Amino acid sequence: MKYQKLGKTDLEVSVVAFGGWGIGGGIVWPDMALAAKDVASLLDEAKDLGINYIDTAPVYGTSVSEKLLGEALKGRRDDFILQTKCSLNWRGDGGNYHYSRDGVTVNNDTSARAVKQDVEDSLLRLKTDYIDSLVVHYVCKTWPVEETMGALQELIKEGKIRAVVLSNSQPADLEEYSKYGHVAAVQEFFSLLSPFHGYDYFDACTKYGTTFQVYGSLEEGFLTRPDFVDKEFPAGDVRGKLPWIHEPIKGAIHNLFDEVLTPLTEKYNCSYANLIQAWTLKQYPNLSLLTGFRRAETMRDTVKCFDIDLSDEDAKLMLEKAAPAQVPVLDK
């Protein structure tokens, strides 16, 4: 495993981060239900592989992901860097409508009051007295950044959180938040099929010493094997809402596999996922690879991406051949 500092903090995190969205289940991830013992086994595997960075959120399964991790972390909380989020909640006490799912209405609220309550709620579900890094899940313009960041800085002083991260944001948001304190990382979508947001963000991350944390590099499985593109998903499943299942993009992805990805997996003797992850890591030096894990074998395969020395020529070829399938704006 490789490690890096999270932004300018003293948090030493594994480059591969454990994504906890999928373990939340619900209508978004309906194909696999995990119990606390299953998540505990995943954390056993993570520790063995050197993965110490865990990401979750209150809304992942409407508290399920946080609660499962809270149980699984008993007795070993300090072995991991724990990251969760604020701003999205279903308390019904204010905020802007964000979505309705799993029987609740979720609002986005970045007011100081809401941010502080989000942290208290997460501390209870995670069964811990501190959160290493707290992510503003969706940057919101309704409340002043000074108010939001002021609350976050107070939480740092109180020892309840140690670092601030932004998600679903823009470079201008990083600039504005950085006026009131250090933003250790931005957590943003970035993949071979939708790389533009990341490319727009890298300069700002360099300027502010901010880690760029990727989510969606494997596009929820669509870049893990050719036949995945032809799968059908039940209503509500996040994978059934992505553009990759529709023509002409679907055909372009098949061409990408046939013409480039399959030959390169043979050349580098690796899985499709490893090839994509190696390409992703090559795009920016201070990059965190957030990957969702529900199976131990996926975790074991992921860490093999560090063994691939992808050439500049092959990385360029992958990007060029992906162009017909690329989508400039993608909000998951």
Report yes or no on 16 lying in a domain: yes
Report yes or no on 325 lying in a domain: no
**pTM given for the model:** 0.94
φ/ψ region of 284 (left if φ > 0, alpha if ψ in -120 to 50, else beta) reads beta
8 Å CB contact between 165 and 214: no
Report yes or no on 205 lying in a domain: yes
Report yes or no on 148 lying in a domain: yes
**CATH code, 46:** 3.20.20.100
Establish whether 97 is a catalytic residue: no
pLDDT tens digits, one per residue of 285-296: 999 999 999 999
From 168, 176, 280, 158, select the one nearest 219 (Cα to Cα): 280
Which ranges of 127-161 does DSSP label H, i.e. alpha helix?
A: 145-157
Domain, as residue range, for 92: 3-220+280-308
Report yes or no on 76 lying in a domain: yes
How many domains does the chain divide into?
A: 1
Report yes or no on 196 lying in a domain: yes
In this model, does residue 162 exceed pLDDT 60? yes
Report yes or no on 171 lying in a domain: yes
pLDDT tens digits, one per residue of 232-278: 888 778 788 788 888 999 999 999 999 999 999 999 999 999 999 99
Q: Of these residues, 53, 60, 138, 177, which one is catalytic?
A: 60
Report yes or no on 329 lying in a domain: no
φ/ψ region of 113 (left if φ > 0, alpha if ψ in -120 to 50, else beta) reads alpha
Classify burial at 304, counting beta carbons within 10 Å of its beta carbon; exposed 0-12, middle 13-18, buried 19 or more: middle
In this model, does residue 80 exceed pLDDT 70? yes
